[in-house]
Amino acid sequence: MEIKNLFEPFEIEYLEMKECPVTAHKHNFFELVYILEGTGMQCINKNKLPYASEKLFLLMPQDCHSFEVKTVTKFFFIRFNDIYLKTQSKEWIQKLEFIFQNNTHLPGCIVKNKTDKPLVKAMVEALIREHINKQHYHLEVVKQIVNTLITIVARNISMNIPLKESVKTNASLEIINYIHQNIYSSEHLKAESIAQRFNISPTYISEYFKKLTGESLQQYIIDYKLKLIETRLQYSDLRMNEIAYELGFTDESHLTKTFKKYKGVSPSEFRKHFNNKMKVAVA
């Protein structure tokens, strides 16, 4: 299967198609696709759904995808890779966690929040104007709009996370959301703090969480931190001690031991393997 590469950290493209000229393929970058006009079918990893105007799709690296055009379609593509992400601030990467940690989405429009739809349309139209006119500072304006658009995508994914079969109650969802929101504060992640927040006995909170989710409280926190570490290793240039400090580990050694215990490799080996894989994909 063809693998497409992105040789710049970031690019945008506007295309009008009567039929899709590209068969199913994969690529090594992220892609946002907005439909300005037209109808057809979108396929991601063998799942199909119809598309129409004013729909926004998110394609992750290594997704197998294609579009079947039924009526003349105007596509607007926004593509960015890990190099682009590594130029962003730590705070901005944190906003994208819901994209990285919930990337097994089914095909379909990524924008579920109705109030965001006109905002997305306006931003895409602004991007097209900047792309065509290329006025002074247009690249800076484009990047600012794109970053805002990506943040809106993250917000919509965070609002529509499919829960595990075992997570069935509002109470479990509230505790999980609390953990996600406070993952960078070790003090707020203590059992005593969580128990106080939800008015539950500190001696019972772990058992209570396990009854709701099937997973212990501390294990859930560790697993989520490990996912965030993987994101930092793949999409940032943060040093190990910076990641350790950010996620509340005692030091770099503590982070390395924990990561290797659960992942079977050290963080540096994980990062090296990912970087090598991306180099091979681009070659």
Taking only the tens place, the pLDDT of each residue in 66-83 is: 888 899 999 999 988 777
Instruction: Provide the b/e sequence for 225-262 (b: ≥16 CB within 10 Å).
Output: bbebbbbbbbbbebebeebbbbbbbeebeebbebbeee
- CATH: 1.20.1740.10, 3.40.50.720, 3.40.109.10, 1.10.10.60. Which one for 170-282? 1.10.10.60
* Cα Rg of the chain, angstroms: 21
Longest dimension (CA), the chain: 64
Class of domain 3-159: mainly beta
Return d(Cα 186, Cα 257) in angstroms, integer.
Answer: 18
Tens-level pLDDT at each residue, the chain (283 residues) = 555 666 677 888 888 888 765 566 667 788 899 999 999 888 877 777 888 999 998 888 777 778 888 999 999 999 887 778 777 777 777 777 767 766 555 567 888 888 999 999 999 999 999 988 888 888 889 989 988 998 888 888 777 655 454 444 567 778 887 888 888 899 999 999 999 999 999 999 999 999 888 889 999 999 999 988 988 888 788 899 999 999 999 999 999 999 999 999 999 999 998 878 766 554 5
Looking at the chain, how many residues does it have? 283
CA distances from 131 to 18, 24, 172, 252 (A): 22, 27, 45, 44
Q: Which helix (H) or strand (E) holds 13?
A: strand 10-17
Which amino acid appears at position 2 of this protein?
E
Q: For the chain, give every domain's residue range.
A: 3-159, 170-282
Rounded Cα–Cα distance for residues 153 and 100 (Å)? 11
Neighbours of 179 (CB within 10 A): 18
DSSP state of 25: B
Quote the tokens at residue 23: 């068969």
Query: Using a CB cutoff of 8 Å and minimum separation of 24, what contacts does 222-227 make?
Result: 222/258, 222/262, 223/262, 224/101, 224/179, 224/180, 224/183, 225/183, 226/258, 226/259, 226/262, 226/263, 227/100, 227/101
Query: How far is Cα 226 from Cα 207, in angstroms, rounded to an integer?
Result: 22
